[in-house]
Structure 1
Amino acid sequence: MAQGSNLPEKNGKALFPLYTVTFIGTLGFGIILTFLVFLVTEYGGNALIYGLLASTYPAFQLIGAPILGRWSDIYGRKKILLLSQIGTLIAWIIFLVALFLPVTELIEVDSDILGVFVITLPLLAIFFARALDGLTGGNVSVANAYLADLTSEEDRNRNYGRMSVASNLGYVFGPALAGVLGATVYGEVLPVSAALVISIIGTAIIILFLPEAPACTPEEYPNPESTRKTLGQEHKECYKVKNEKKLNLRDVFKIEYIPFMLMLYFLIFLGFNIYYTAFPVFAVDALKWSPAALGIYFSVISAMMAFVQGPVLERLARRYRESILIVTGGFILGIQFILLIPGNIFLIYLAAAFFALGNGIMWPSILSVLSKFAGATYQGSVQGFAMSSSSFASIIGLLAGGLLYTQIESLSFLIAAVIIFIAVILSFRLIKIEKQKK
């Protein structure tokens, strides 16, 4: 076998640093998530600029993720995860420098459609930082492939759930930490500095504690009709594309069910990112929330989601098929978007509970199903293209969220709900597929 000979499928010691790196990555992002919308406003931007800035990361991730995913198949997961982490580290340095630049006006816009905003020098530097972070931002797809390398199929859903717990814990503590540090006289400087230090710690953990999965040299492209190879039952073998060509999108689409999963990825991220742009602006504009209030809300969601993706998902995964969890979770998630529309504080926090429950049982199940369809052969490449699909949806969703909010305000959440419900309807196909594979 070309890989996995010295990496047992159930390796808690190997997974623990992977969970830690995931936690540290989201902790840094959770810190900035709390005050980014306020920072954009302070430097002259509006809802559209906030959406544009938020979409910069996935736009460049769309370019970098497939490349990094492919490289992780060839050169090893650890090297590429380290490359990604170093890119994030440099990006935070640029972000910190941006806070000390003079607020020089570069472009001023006054439009009925786009609104009124100013592009300033610090905003431009922050855009550059987010672009660099996105370009090297294949860490999620590489981490997902890494986990698949180390985990047997029967344990994969549970372990993806645990990695999601680690991710959500970062969103629990990140906004809370940002609220404490941002309340000082140093403003945003301390939270960004904290994110920089956290990135340094993440880099050190990868270097010192994360084991390397041996590089995979594929030998033959998997036959789409071979469900044994497609579903990863020959879990540790590697195959090579004929004529040694790189695995491109056309090759990925030859793997059974992968195009369908990429479409689901796209729809889910499209709905999510309309919400991710519209809600912070809605919280500031309509609800008059402070950075601390917004941070508390995100922390509450993440804390509940960590609970759902831990003991709750573990119990549900033993009783129900992944396809059932995907459909049920997606339906609950769609309802939460509708609860946000009236702007009632009780309904908004009820929506937080629906978000945690729906996303908490749906998303790890989506990741598990995708990894099974990809198999061990091109795990990194498929995860990279899945990340590209989500990045493309994020670009559209984040930009659309900004534009929609400037035009229809809270009704933007209704658009997000409709998109999620479409994904739920399509997901019924997974129930049929799972029954066929029994």
Structure 2
Amino acid sequence: MEQKGCKPEKVRLFPLLLINFINTLGFGLVLPFLVFLVERFGGNAIVYGFIGAMYPAFQLIGAPILGRWSDVHGRKKILFITQAGTLLSWIIFMLAFFTPVDTILEVDSPIFGVFIITIPLLILFIARSFDGLTGGNVAVANAYLADITEEKDRNRNFGKMSISTNLGFIIGPALAGLLSLTIYGELIPVLAAALISLAGVIVIVRYLPESQQCIIKKEKKMGFRDVIELKNISYMLVIYFLIFLGFNVFYTAFPLHAIEILNWSIADMGIYFSVLSIMMVIVQGPILSRASRKYSDARLAIIGSVILGTNFIFLVTGDMFFTYLAAVLFALGNGLMWPSLLSLISKLAGREHQGAVQGFASSFSSLASIVGLIFGGFLYGVLKGMSFVVAAVIVYVVFLLSFRMLSFEKELKEE
């Protein structure tokens, strides 16, 4: 699968892991209180879902372009653009705290519920939209990792990327709980997110080398049709879509479920996501490292997806014990499945199309996030805790589809 003369050079993985950690730490600082902030500015569960959908909606536009640009112009330049965009988005986000909560529109709808549109609420929409438009960092980071990693090590290194993500979600929510206790409330965590993003820009400029040894000199237009015509890529994109659809039904429904059924506070929410992330680090570290030596990417995806689907069933009970038991299964299932899928799609993409494929994969995940975040709000309003069953069914479909990936691996070995 490697192009002649384009073997990955040994580049340190640490700067990339640090950038990934910085990005998730920033969002982890805001995640625990975002639903409360939306309600304070006049929104409801549906509005919270729409605000959450702004990032993936605009990422749907930006990620394929940024991914392909990274194939042509180099990963480092595009990572700088995406990180600078994140920094600017947090600055815009902070403006909401200094804007009067003036009502623009009052809504009383049998479908959307009762809420008001205020100026600070619109600012949150703009901030999340801008971050999404420049939010190709995940696609470009995945392409960067594929550049510098031999195929036999990709599963473990994608596991390390996931660990850096989860470390951000361990420290972020816990730190948010502490910082929000000051007299400035949620403003300090958002300011911290902006400063952390600035640190990410500095890391890219000072410490991240260019990863590509063979940047494409002449840009060839790589559209959606070109990508899906690559062997087996279209099937993997469908799996991407379904996974993120299930995830985002959960991510929208769970905070609402935690407030209404579990009676959790911001601190309780922060503790739960921190515990979940700690378990993810354990799974994607020593457990994944050992499992990847024994099982192929496809087999780990199969095992992980059935475990992941089962975790959502336990959430339906609304019981504290089963809620934390679900977290254990979530960590184990996702920790085995996700790095394995990332590893396999990077192998199928090949070196020349790595950025383009990763960009369109991000678009599929973004499309699923839009549907899942908005649908999740509606779904929870109607089904309450039973909405987790829908998430479980979606992931069980992924489990069934994953068996075909065994043949993909066989084809790769034969090439």
Q: Same fold (TM over 0.5)?
A: yes
State the SS of the aligned residue for 1:116.
strand
CA drift at 1:183 = 1.3
Which residue of the partner structure matches residue 407 of structure 2? Answer: 432
Q: How does 1:10-159 map to 2 (within 5 A)?
A: 10-11=10-11, 13=12, 15-159=13-157
Which residue of the partner structure matches residue 176 of structure 1? Answer: 174
Is residue 195 of structure 2 the alignment partner of residue 197 of structure 1? yes
Work out the CA distance in 1 between the residues paired with 2:277 and 2:140. Answer: 23
CA drift at 1:435 = 3.6
Letter paired with 1:394: S
Which residue of the partner structure matches residue 223 of structure 2? Answer: 248
Q: How does 1:12-411 map to 2 (within 5 A)?
A: 13=12, 15-214=13-212, 216-218=214-216, 245-411=220-386
Over aligned residue pairs, what C-alpha RMSD do you find? Answer: 1.7
Aligned length: 412
Residue by residue, what CA displacement relative to the aligned partner does 1:346-382 show, whole Å, maximum 9, x if unpaired?
A: 0000000000000001000000000000010110000
CA drift at 1:436 = 4.5
Work out the CA distance in 1 between the residues paired with 2:324 and 2:228. Answer: 40
Q: Is the 8 A contact 1:3 1:213 kept in 2?
A: no
Give percent identity, aligned residues only. Answer: 58
Which residue of the partner structure matches residue 233 of structure 1? Answer: none
Q: TM-score scaled to structure 1, two decimals?
A: 0.91
CA drift at 1:105 = 0.8
Work out the CA distance in 2 between the residues paired with 1:20 and 1:338. Answer: 34
CA drift at 1:402 = 0.4
CA drift at 1:5 = 7.0
Work out the CA distance in 2 between the residues paired with 1:429 and 1:401. Answer: 29
CA drift at 1:107 = 1.4
Which residue of the partner structure matches residue 398 of structure 2? Answer: 423
5+ residue gaps in structure 2? none
Q: Is the 8 A contact 2:73 2:216 kept in 1?
A: no
CA drift at 1:284 = 1.1
State the SS of the aligned residue for 1:99.
helix
CA drift at 1:8 = 4.7
Structure 1 stretch displaced more, 133-142 or 402-411: 402-411
CA drift at 1:6 = 9.4
5+ residue gaps in structure 1? 220-239
Work out the CA distance in 1 between the residues paired with 2:260 and 2:331. Answer: 24
CA drift at 1:213 = 2.8
